[in-house]
Structure 1
Amino acid sequence: MNIKKFVDRRKELRISQVKMCEGICTQSTLSKFESSGRVPSLVILTQLCTRIGLTIDDLNSDEISSTNQIQKQLDTAERQLAMGDYQTVLQTISAIDEEQISPIPLRIQFYYLRGMLNALINRAPEVVLYDFSQILNDLDERHDTIFSQLAYVGSGLTYIRKQQFERAQFYFCKVNDFIKTQLEKPQSDDDPRRDDLRLLTLIFYTAYYYALQDQLKTSDELIDTGMNLCSIKHVTYYLPRLKFLAAENAIREKKEKDHVEGLMIEARVFAHLNKNQIITVKLAALRNRYAKGLDLKDLLP
């Protein structure tokens, strides 16, 4: 609450504290509000604001503006993360002051994004898992939201980086079960409860995990699920990466060359439509390795 705005307006109107309080509250109440930030009752604060031509919303406008700005930054970072643009996500997240985030939904989103980014750029496990513990042990301790599932994915990716696949399996099995449950729910195309981009994040990385484990059939099924969801919901951020992963799987499954080439062309087209230069570059590397018969496992889409 911008108390300074209140004080400045009162002084601008040359209204003393004594006159300001008349018929509303004691001078002590006003003094404690102005000097110590002790907010009076809603009725009293409304009357005080009215006396100097302000509303309570006027006092909260800066905080609301700041919250809206943080929300925009986090949403932008989430889209960038979906496209694999980790450098830009790092810049966006680093520009946000963690201490300025008050609303719990924004705090959860912030810890998810920072934790996931740190997992993907191979930061130390204790750094990654700290952010996810904020979600799993505090902000969503009942694990009711999709953010707990996203924290599982990030934790699983961290263990993949450390070659601890049994621990990674624990998390990805949980996430795979969650995906199945979500897809079985009857929901309309415009159901606001369903966060499609986050669900696609779960699907994509779980498909990637199963591909690493050479469970290519399960991976392919998840890829198809993801692409269908992209089509139905008109969410295209993950399409280039899903097509890229499908091409990788097809190569490892020794599919016909025309089929593999078709998938790579589709990945390139979707990358162009989404302005995803990162996948375009990785496709060139994939083509080169495919032509030379080299291993593909370290090419994260």
Structure 2
Amino acid sequence: MFLGNIITETRKQQGMTQFELADGICTQNTISKIEKHNIAPTVKILVQLCLRLKITLNDVFSDFNERGSEVVDLLISVEKALLLNRPVKVNDQIAIIKKATLNLQEQIQFNLITALQKIMTNQYSDSLFDCDKILTLTKNDSYNIYTLLAYTIKGTAYYKLEKIEEATYFYDLVSKATKANSQIANSTALEVCYISDCISRFYTAKGNHKLSMQYINRALQLNKKNGTAYFIGNLLHTAYLNAQALKVSEGKTAQLKAYADTFLSYDQDQSNLIETLID
């Protein structure tokens, strides 16, 4: 078991929130990153966390050599491939994961993977069941990125099934959660950009172009900050559709169309252009 999993499971067993665990020690964002395996805590912070959780350093480190990183690495790589719509050798990798004994976080991630796989193969109704499994495990915690990903996938599935009212319900849940928790603490840039891409396209289809542009801008800014280019083509194409609907000047609309058509990487000129559209 990994440090992040031990802290997560011990915290939840004691009915403690991330904010409560972090109070006076570090930020809630730090706890989220530790639990997500994005960062390792300093020795000082780790000792303080152990004291608050009433566990020892031996409890934290005793399992480290008993479990390899193969399953964790596979979960991360498969999730990334599916979020990016690249299902290369995914079935073989999932078969390996299925044979492993998964802890809570890994179960959540595995259910996300199966939900994404079913969305990609047009098994929309079946994907809803996997999302419900995620929500049971996360207890619908809106501060958990996997809750928001499950809501997003459910929104996508219902939209594909032409159940617009249900789709709107789940996309609105994501919208409310991300307004209250705009940083989505325990997330990766890819996960946030995936949600932003899905939700922006949905709100454009519904005619809420201003809200769509807010999510496009969020994803573009995150890509710029991290030096990534997740869903740039989709985001700029959706921005172009919004520009048309908002009757933005022909010059700016044409620029967006050109960027979208060529799938250019995000740069400062595009940043300025996008920001002018949401003012």
Q: TM-score range by the shorter chain?
A: 0.5 to 0.7
Q: Counterpart in 1 of 2:128? A: 129
Q: Contact 2:79/2:112 (CA < 8 Å) preserved in 1?
A: no
Tell me: CA distance 1:101–1:235, structure 2 relative to 1, closer, same or farther (3 Å). farther
Q: What's the offset of the Cα at 1:123? A: 0.4
Q: Counterpart in 1 of 2:144? A: 145
1:120-269 map, 5 Å: 120-125=120-125, 127-137=126-136, 139-143=137-141, 144-183=143-182, 193-253=186-246, 255-269=248-262
Q: Contact 2:124/2:161 (CA < 8 Å) preserved in 1?
A: no
Q: Counterpart in 1 of 2:71? A: 70
Q: Secondary structure at the match of 1:88?
A: coil
Q: What's the offset of the Cα at 1:201? A: 2.1
* AA at the equivalent of 2:234: R
Q: Secondary structure at the match of 1:100?
A: coil
CA distance in structure 1 between the partners assigned to 2:63 and 2:124 by the alignment:
45
Q: What's the offset of the Cα at 1:259? A: 3.0
* AA at the equivalent of 2:76: D
Q: What's the offset of the Cα at 1:176? A: 0.3
Q: Contact 1:216/1:249 (CA < 8 Å) preserved in 2?
A: yes
* AA at the equivalent of 2:110: F
Q: Which runs of 5 or more structure 1 residues have no equivalent in the other structure?
A: 1-54, 274-301
CA distance in structure 2 between the partners assigned to 1:110 and 1:129 by the alignment:
14
Tell me: CA distance 1:81–1:260, structure 2 relative to 1, closer, same or farther (3 Å). farther
1:14-163 map, 5 Å: 60=66, 64-65=67-68, 68-85=69-86, 87-88=87-88, 90-91=90-91, 94-125=94-125, 127-137=126-136, 139-143=137-141, 144-163=143-162
CA distance in structure 2 between the partners assigned to 1:153 and 1:223 by the alignment:
15
CA distance in structure 1 between the partners assigned to 2:163 and 2:89 by the alignment:
26
Q: What's the offset of the Cα at 1:147? A: 0.6
CA distance in structure 2 between the partners assigned to 1:217 and 1:236 by the alignment:
22
Sequence identity (%): 19
CA distance in structure 1 between the partners assigned to 2:120 and 2:264 by the alignment:
20
Tell me: CA distance 1:103–1:252, structure 2 relative to 1, closer, same or farther (3 Å). same
Q: What's the offset of the Cα at 1:74? A: 2.5
Q: What's the offset of the Cα at 1:174? A: 0.7
Corresponding pairs, count: 205
Q: Contact 1:135/1:147 (CA < 8 Å) preserved in 2?
A: yes
Q: What's the offset of the Cα at 1:238? A: 2.7
CA distance in structure 2 between the partners assigned to 1:140 and 1:134 by the alignment:
9
Q: What's the offset of the Cα at 1:152? A: 0.7
Q: What's the offset of the Cα at 1:182? A: 2.0
Q: TM-score, normalised by structure 2?
A: 0.62
1:112-159 CA-partner distances (Å, limit 9, x unpaired)? 12213322432040x21221121112x212525211111111111111
Superposition RMSD in Å: 3.1
CA distance in structure 2 between the partners assigned to 1:56 and 1:229 by the alignment:
35
Q: Which runs of 5 or more structure 2 residues have no equivalent in the other structure?
A: 1-61, 267-279
Q: Secondary structure at the match of 2:88?
A: helix
Q: TM-score, normalised by structure 1?
A: 0.58
CA distance in structure 2 between the partners assigned to 1:226 and 1:57 by the alignment:
35
1:231-266 CA-partner distances (Å, limit 9, x unpaired)? 223332232321122123334555555434422332
